[in-house]
Structure 1
Amino acid sequence: MVKCIIFDCDGVLVDTEKIGNGILLAMAQEHGFEMELEDAYRHFNGRNLKDCFRHIEEAINQKLPETFEAEYRTKSFKAFKTQVKPMEGVVDFIEKLKIPFCVASSGPEEKIRLNLEVAGLLDKFENKIFSSYQIGSWKPEPGIFLHAAQEMGFDVKDCIVLEDSKAGVKAGVSGGFKVFGFANGFNNEDLEEEGAELFSSYEELRKKLDLY
């Protein structure tokens, strides 16, 4: 019996992955980096931003400018403020939940809050927002999910994790959680390989969990 749901944020609660990856690729291209958007989903989603930058630097064999991160955050925050939407079906799913839930993300709390606010979800997650930056542990390490479960007052076995990235599924599984992977067409094989049970809509997940 599921007693608590731990949501990832980007790509699970809010539709941000296309925005963020698009900006990152466009900026990286100026420094000679080439990658298809589909590959960016696979390599970058769910990872600490500095890991993404390291991947780019290794590919182009040079350091990115010191201003790169600040510029990326400025551009992405500006885009998120106008373009972020909730994932289809998630608002109805959350509103009908009768068990506790929270969000646990690798992103800074400021970014999580901004995305939830623009998507109209912030009020549902007040005091239930957990960021890797609060504990200094990023996916694929399990720390953020273990921290979220502890703060919510539940054992790992009583929680499920909802993820859309390879790094996130790896984090959940290594922490001992049952992980459901939100399949988007790009990530299906990766999520299954890491041990997630796939779902492609919140209606499908509701039926799988028999929550209400």
Structure 2
Amino acid sequence: MAEPIELVIFDCDGVLVNTEPIAVRTNVAVLSELGWPITPDEVVELFLGRSTKSINELITARLGPDLAVEADRRFQELYLAALDAEMTAVAGIAGALDAITLPTCVASSGSHEKMRRTLGRTGLYERFEGRIFSATQVVHGKPEPDLFLLAAREMGVPPGRCVVVEDSRYGVQAARAAGMRSLGYAGGLTPAEWLEGPDTVVFTDMRELPALLDGARTT
């Protein structure tokens, strides 16, 4: 029998806030202008769930260091403006958080500055304040387990008693590498089959999350 769940670790982008369609669209526009005619599906496959550092390394390998710097500059300018104009919380997440009684935290590939902006604008920041962890705090981002292990350690919970809520292939891979169970949210851009695998339950509606966590606590 699995250990009882004592901590729920949330990814941020695509799980708490609807930033990913904006990021994908912006990456396609910027990279295509600079000589990488990338498609939305390719952005989802290559970038979704990775840290900014990892994404910039991929862009540098394709376009070279100078154009990678320019791509990052253009992306940040367009992306932040679009976030302020368009971003919303993921449908159903506020109600799900209201119903969850387990301790929670956030562990995201995004920076603390970015999460203050996105979670703040959607009214979610205060729900997690003081319990937010970023890939900037570890050497290796997802799909390596470092970030989730940091979150568990800081929260004082053994990895086997954590469950991760993720929406990216790299995120669920990181959870498995950390020895944690995961709930893969397929209500966004990532195909459900990319999330399927050991110790992972895939779902498509955030309103299902409290019941899934109740089930995980007893299995």
Scaled by the length of structure 2, the TM-score of the pair is 0.88
CA RMSD after TM alignment: 2.0
Q: Judging changes above 3 Å, is the alpha-carbon distance between structure 1 residues 66 and 185 closer, same or farther for their aligned structure 2 residues? A: closer
Q: Return the alpha-carbon distance in structure 2 between the equivalents of residues 135 and 94 of structure 1.
A: 27
- Cα deviation per residue 1:10-57 (whole Å; 9 max; x = unaligned)? 000101000011111100001221222133212211112233234344
Partner SS for 1:66: helix
CA positional deviation for 1:175 = 0.6
| Runs of 4+ with >6 A deviation | none
Q: Judging changes above 3 Å, is the alpha-carbon distance between structure 1 residues 12 and 4 closer, same or farther for their aligned structure 2 residues? A: same
Aligned counterpart for 1:170 among listed residues 159, 173, 179: 173
Is 2:92 the partner of 1:53?
Answer: no
CA positional deviation for 1:68 = 2.5
- The aligned counterpart of 1:23 is 26
Is 2:203 the partner of 1:206?
Answer: no
Q: Return the alpha-carbon distance in structure 1 between the equivalents of residues 156 and 148 of structure 2.
A: 12
Contact 1:3 1:159 in 2 (8 A): yes
- The aligned counterpart of 1:40 is 43
Structure 2: which 5+ runs fail to align? none
Structure 1: which 5+ runs fail to align? none
Aligned counterpart for 1:120 among listed residues 89, 99, 123: 123
> Identity percentage over the alignment?
34
User: 1:1-212 to 2 correspondence within 5 Å?
Assistant: 1-59=4-62, 62-63=64-65, 64-183=67-186, 184=188, 186-193=190-197, 196-210=200-214
CA positional deviation for 1:187 = 2.3
Q: Judging changes above 3 Å, is the alpha-carbon distance between structure 1 residues 185 and 25 closer, same or farther for their aligned structure 2 residues? A: closer
185-194 or 82-91: bigger deviation: 185-194
Q: Return the alpha-carbon distance in structure 1 between the equivalents of residues 99 and 211 of structure 2.
A: 13
Q: Return the alpha-carbon distance in structure 1 between the equivalents of residues 55 and 183 of structure 2.
A: 24
